Amino acid sequence: MSGIVLGSGPVSADPGCPSLYTVAVPGTWETGHDKDPKPGMLAAVTNGLPGEVDYVTYAATAFPWEGDIYAASKKEAVDNARGLVQAMASRCAGTRIAITGYSQGADAAGDLAAEIGSGRGVVPPDRVAAVALISDPRRSPTDAQIGPVAPGAGAGGARAGGFGWISDKVRTVCALGDLYCSTEETDFVTRFAGFLAQATNPNNFNPWQTQLEFGSILNDLMSRGGLPTLQAQLAEGPDSEYAHQLEQFYRSGKHTSYGSYSVGGGQTALTWMHSWIATNA
């Protein structure tokens, strides 16, 4: 994709084509090469939506011993989601596109949305109806959040450039205490770990973006004591405050709480996101 894809105004869906096409990217372990995608967390978002819904199949792994490392797994999710959007756009010129994802799937869905929003996607920005991201590991503090405002940013660092021309179509939700999407600025161990997870796939290496993301973490670290601060966080061991925070997080179920997580108005995170897509169809 070398050119910028711009829109040409509203177009009605062709006969036999859906008015809305939703691409849903499941989270880690919710799908895989040996099984069809499970609706999982996104079921409450996609069930009953107008038009058609497709779930993305990809590795959905995170660790080397599972096969694909995180960055390679996420790249596959982005590529497969992009392929679904492109195929529908080629078949149905008037169909609008919605994108949703959870956890690693939100990471991939958000990257695809940012690509389209920059004008370098497989469809022009005005074809996008809505984007709904649940526990996005690349959430930016400037992204439009629903519900209580979670501090910090995603563990993988904010996307350079944001969502461009579709920023007003994107909504994100991050449960308070979910470290995947809410890492404090001073938690350098998690921020470097998230950066490395994103940068480990040489086929998805973007020197400009990587330099910006690494520079952001390094600048924050240097302004808060430099290398001794990072060494102190690494050296505190299993009895450190950081270790206890991680243990509490994994036991809390925050990352899987979105089906019951209240965002106000009597809605959960998932029912709100369902409405967001449906009302923008």
CATH number of the domain where residue 72 is located: 3.40.50.1820
- Does residue 240 form part of some domain? no
What is the total residue count of the chain? 281
The average pLDDT across 80-91 equals 97
Separation of alpha carbons 41 and 103, rounded Å: 9
pLDDT at 209: 55
Separation of alpha carbons 242 and 233, rounded Å: 7
35 strand-pairing partners: 32
- Does residue 7 form part of some domain? no
- Does residue 161 form part of some domain? yes
Q: What is the dihedral of CA 133, 256, 60, 68, to 10 degrees?
A: 110
∠ Cα 135 267 265 (to 5°): 120
Given a cut of 60, whether residue 205 has pLDDT beyond it is: no
- Does residue 5 form part of some domain? no
- Does residue 190 form part of some domain? no
How many domains is the chain partitioned into structurally? Answer: 1
Separation of alpha carbons 39 and 45, rounded Å: 9
pTM of the model: 0.78
Which pair of tokens denotes residue 119? 């004008």
Give the mean pLDDT of the chain. 81
The average pLDDT across 31-36 equals 79
Q: How many CB atoms lie within 10 A of CB 232?
A: 13
Q: Give residue 123's domain range.
A: 20-183+254-279
Q: Specify the range with the lowest mean pLDDT, choosing from 38-42, 161-165, 170-174, 182-186.
A: 182-186
Relative to beta strand 170-173, strand 128-134 is: parallel
pLDDT at 176: 93
Q: Specify the range with the lowest mean pLDDT, choosing from 1-5, 259-263, 265-269.
A: 1-5
